[in-house]
Structure 1
């Protein structure tokens, strides 16, 4: 078995904090504009949820282009819900992200975005990270702290195998969640039907 290489995250990718809240004062629900991703827009399955996106007017978003997202970037939640990450897909390119997140832009082709996202969401990684976060009412990870974290990097073939295996599990989770949502709605519907019956 090929030995894993331990590499500091800062050598694998550029870590960039999102724009400060004062630069996002004009965020609005719905409407036109450029979506701005926040921790609540990231799912536990390392994806972006688009149901409740907030947007920034295009004129203001243009001034923040240095914070735009590209396909293959990994978005890491650094405030509150540590361990939530998402891989940016083509349809999210050009979107922005809040200061509660860190953008990880790969500098090397030795690691796949999907593998990195899975690794950073591992309970053991999050636990180790929490041990280095200053105590306080709100958990907050500094970019420098994340850059110092070591990442186990296997050969690309093993990364692809891990990606495929986890994707299969994720698919089953989505199927089961959809079934559960239907079942949760079934009880109240049956109750109303019984009440209405004569």
Structure 2
């Protein structure tokens, strides 16, 4: 079962740390995900969103997440990227409720989010451009991680006391 900590950097965890027994899962059909859905955090870090991939098809989500199931008028990848944009995030953050000390947003607030609807081809093009940039970011993060590991290994080798 996916929960808010499983939504990070526009992606969903492939290994959620909470599982639901099969007998209980059958009664939770309204929380079942389909590829193309988008999950948004309701409490804790409201506005963090990520698309559901084919790998997560059929998984469940907790009630601390909103599931958005785009209509045929909206490309799911376009909507996922828009929800992570500075414009959408700013709009969401201005509507965050802090009454209990835990930031949250209501479904009604999220439903009121204005989404600029381009023609289908333009939505796909925008989503493809954003996906390409997102992939470049992921590659650069991997390069940084590998460089850090190399630096650590070199430091251990170069600066260890002689035996």
Q: Establish whether TM, by shorter chain, passes 0.5.
A: yes
Matched, 1:115 2:90: no
Per the alignment, residue 191 of structure 1 pairs with: 155
Contact 1:83–1:123 (8 Å) recurs in 2: no
Count of matched residue pairs: 161
Residue deviations 1:40-92 (CA, integer Å, cap 9, x gap): 21231x22222443211111111112210011111111222233211112221
Asked if residue 161 in structure 1 is aligned to residue 125 in structure 2, the reply is yes
Runs of 5+ consecutive residues of structure 1 not aligned to the other structure: 1-35
Q: Distance in 2 between matches of 1:71 and 1:188?
A: 39
Give the conservation status (yes or no) of the 8 Å contact 2:41–2:66: yes
Q: What does residue range 122-133 of structure 1 map to in structure 2 within 5 Å?
A: 122-133=85-96
- Cα offset for 1:197? 5.0
Measured in 1, the distance between the counterparts of 2:15 and 2:55 equals 14
Mapped partners of 1:174, 1:59: distance in 2: 38
Note the aligned Cα RMSD (angstroms).
1.6
SS at match of 2:19: strand
Answer yes or no: is the 8 Å Cα contact 2:78–2:123 preserved in 1: yes
Would you identify which runs of 4 or more consecutive aligned residues in structure 1 move more than 3 Å? none
Higher relative contact order (CA 8 A, sep 6+): 1
Q: Which residue of 2 aligns with 1:171?
A: 135
TM-score (normalizing by structure 2): 0.90
Which runs of 5 or more residues in structure 2 are unaligned?
A: none
